[in-house]
Amino acid sequence: MLAFDYRSGFVKKKYLMKKLGKSRNKRSRSEKGFTLLELLAVMGLLAILLALASLKGTDILANARERVCQYNRTQLIKKYESHLVATGEEHNETLLAGFILEEGENICPSHGTISIAFQNLLCSVHDIDEDEDDVPYLLK
Residue 82 CA to residue 91 CA, distance in Å, equals 11
Lowest mean pLDDT among 9-18, 71-80, 116-125: 9-18
Residue 139 CA to residue 136 CA, distance in Å, equals 10
- pLDDT > 80? residue 122: yes
Residue 56 CA to residue 59 CA, distance in Å, equals 5
pLDDT band at 128 (very low <50, low <70, confident <90, very high): confident
Domain ranges of the chain: 35-123
pTM for this one?
0.55
Give the count of alpha carbons within 13 A of 35, CB side only: 4
Residue 51 CA to residue 65 CA, distance in Å, equals 21
Q: What is the pLDDT of residues 88-107, one digit of tens each?
A: 888 888 888 888 888 777 88
How much is the pLDDT for 80? Answer: 87
- Partners of 116 in the β-ladder: 121
